[in-house]
Amino acid sequence: MVRDKVKENVNAQPTRHVRAGKEKQRDHDQVAEEVDEDEEWEEEEEQQEEVVINVLMVGDPRVGKTALLRSLVGDELQEEYQPTTEVLSYQHTISLTPTLHLHFNLIEAPSVSLTPELLSRCPVILFLFDLTRKSTLNSIKTWYRRCRPPKEERRRSARLSHRSNGVEAGARSGAEERPEGRGTGVLHLLVGTKYDVWAAGKPSQAERERWLDLVRQFSQAMLAPVLFTSSSTTAAAATEPEGGWEAHPSNIFRVMISKLFDVQCTIPECTDLQRPIILYEGLER
């Protein structure tokens, strides 16, 4: 099963088959038998596991959806704001082993394009809000309602979740079965953008505490992990202890993999009010 393979390999390095050295003298039959075994093993090793996961990004205008999308796939950021008028789709691949590949299909869609068909194909939704504009967090309520499937689909999803208590990763790219959630069958993540801009304004301790209280409330209501991010955080800075690794957008992938495949997250939570917030514990579905 794909989920089992992810669990085995998410925290491990890829392994290779190692064969002990052959003795110098062997008869022809023994050598031929070993050659056949090697060929069978190599054929099995070359079989590729490909998992496609559609990830939808929603939020108010100017919250930084396109900037985050480009940052997640390593594209250059745009200097000027340009409203999204059509569906954008980028793919980012994470290879857990030489034969196990997760393809994240990242989708940004304008409000008018949030059709039931599109929503039914996305097992993950990122709800983005701008840390410099508190009103964009309040708008998450509206976006959450818009992204909920019809009542009949919610009931069907709840029945599937009750029966299976989770689904195979290979089905997560479609609409037939999706991860268990609070009445929606979809994994939600709350992503606070522009952390660098917000932190540069030197918010007071009281302001930081208010933000933490607010996002905790939304997180518990939606059963959604929370990450504060900055699209301008470079990969180099993210590797430094004081370089703001908590704000790096790649953390979104780590939390998604953890929740989708029920494996331990490879990054710790961060509740230090002087650092970017990361919350994902205690949100069992």
Residue 152, in any domain of the structure: yes
Q: What is the pLDDT of residue 7?
A: 66
Counting the structural domains of the chain, the total is 1
Q: What is the pLDDT of residue 37?
A: 56
Q: What is the pLDDT of residue 8?
A: 65
- Give me the average pLDDT of each 10-residue run along the chain (285 residues): 65 38 47 54 68 94 87 64 71 89 91 87 95 94 85 48 39 38 72 91 92 93 93 52 70 93 90 90 72
Residue 161, in any domain of the structure: yes
Q: What is the pLDDT of residue 72?
A: 84
C-beta separation of 212 from 161 below 8 A: no
pLDDT digits 0-9 by tens, 59-106: 999 898 888 888 888 755 455 555 665 788 889 999 988 888 999 999
Residue 28, in any domain of the structure: no
CA–CA dist 238, 236 (Å, integer):
5
Helices 2-9 and 251-261 sit at what angle, rounded to 10 degrees? 130
String of DSSP letters for the chain? -HHHHHHHHTTS-------PPPPS---HHHHHHHHHHHHHHHHHHTPPEEEEEEEEEEESTTSSHHHHHHHHHTPPPPSS-----S-EEEEEEEEEETTEEEEEEEEE--GGG--HHHHHT-SEEEEEEETT-THHHHTHHHHHHHTSPPHHHHHHHHHHHHHHSS--GGGTTSSSS----SSS--EEEEEEE-HHHHHHT---HHHHHHHHHHHHHHHHHHT--EEE--TT--HHHHTSTTTTGGG-TTHHHHHHHHHHHT---SS--B--TTS--EE-TT---
Single-letter amino acid code for the residue at 184: T
Residue 37, in any domain of the structure: no
Q: What is the pLDDT of residue 23?
A: 41
**Could you tell me the CATH number of the domain that includes residue 231?**
3.40.50.300
Q: What is the pLDDT of residue 236?
A: 40
- Those residues whose C-beta lies under 8 Å from the C-beta of residue 152, and which sit 6 or more positions away, are none
pLDDT digits 0-9 by tens, 264-273: 998 999 988 8
Q: Dihedral through CA 22, CA 26, CA 29, CA 30, nearest 10?
A: -30
The pTM of this model reads 0.73
Residue 27, in any domain of the structure: no
Residue 95, in any domain of the structure: yes
CA–CA dist 247, 185 (Å, integer):
27
Residue 39, in any domain of the structure: no
Residue 57, in any domain of the structure: yes
Q: What is the pLDDT of residue 148?
A: 81
Residue range of the domain that includes 272: 49-279
Q: What is the pLDDT of residue 161?
A: 43
CA–CA dist 127, 224 (Å, integer):
9
